[in-house]
A and B are shown apart, each in its own frame.
Chain A
Amino acid sequence: MGVGIEVNKLNAWYGANHTLQDITLHIPANEATALIGPSGCGKSTFVRCLNRMHETNPIAKVTGDVKVGGMDIYSDISAVEVRRRIGMVFQRPNPFPTMSIYDNVASGLRLNGYRNRRVLDEVVERSLTHAALWDEVKHDLKKKSGASLSGGQQQRLCIARALAVDPEVLLMDEPASALDPVSTAKIEDLIFQLKVQYTIVIVTHNMQQAARVAERTGFFLNGKLIEFDSTHKIFTNPSDKRTEDYITGRFG
Chain B
Amino acid sequence: MILCAISIFAIVALIATELVTHSEISLHKFGWKFFVGSAWNPVTNKFGALPFIYGTIVSSLVALALAVPLAVGVAVFLTEMCPRALRGMLSFVTELLAAIPSVVYGLWAIFVLVPLLRNYVDPVFIKLLGWTGLFTRPDFGIGMFAAGVILAIMILPIISSLTREVMSAVPHTQREAVLALGATRWEMIRMGVLRNARIGIVGSIILGLGRALGETMAVAMVIGSSPTISKSLLAPAATMASVIANEFAEAADDTYRSALIEIGLALFLVTIVVNILARLLVWAVTRGAPARTA
Which B-chain residue is minimally distant from A97 (CB atoms)? B290
> A170 to nearest B CB, angstroms?
11
Chain B interface SS verdict (over half): helix
A97 / chain B contacts, CB cutoff of 8 Å? 196, 290-292
> B227 to nearest A CB, angstroms?
45
CB atoms of A111 and B195 under 8 A apart = no
Contact for A107 among B173, B176, B191, CB less than 8 A: B191
CB atoms of A98 and B291 under 8 A apart = yes
Query: Given A96-B195, A98-B195, A90 and B290 touching (CB < 8 A)?
Result: no
Q: How large is the interface on A (under 10, 10 to 19, 20 to 34, 35 or more residues)?
A: 20 to 34
Report the 6 A-B pairs with minimum CB-CB distance, sorted nearest first: A84-B182, A83-B182, A88-B180, A94-B173, A108-B181, A94-B177
CB atoms of B191 and A96 under 8 A apart = yes
> At the interface, yes or no: B22 with Cβ under 8 Å from chain A?
no
A94 / chain B contacts, CB cutoff of 8 Å? 171, 173-174, 176-177
- Give the interface of A toward B (CB within 8 A): 51, 53, 56, 80-85, 87-88, 90, 92, 94-99, 107-108, 111-112, 145, 147-148, 158, 161-162, 165
The answer for the CA separation of A148 and B184 in the assembled complex, in Å, is 27
> At the interface, yes or no: B254 with Cβ under 8 Å from chain A?
no
The answer for the CA separation of A92 and B177 in the assembled complex, in Å, is 10
> B162 to nearest A CB, angstroms?
19
Which B166-219 residues sit within 8 Å CB-CB of chain A? 171, 173-174, 176-184, 187, 191-192, 195-196, 198
> A123 to nearest B CB, angstroms?
13
A148 / chain B contacts, CB cutoff of 8 Å? 292
Query: Given A96-B196, A98-B198, A107-B191, A83 and B179 touching (CB < 8 A)?
Result: yes
The answer for the CA separation of A99 and B292 in the assembled complex, in Å, is 9
CB atoms of A83 and B181 under 8 A apart = yes
Which B-chain residue is minimally distant from A107 (CB atoms)? B181
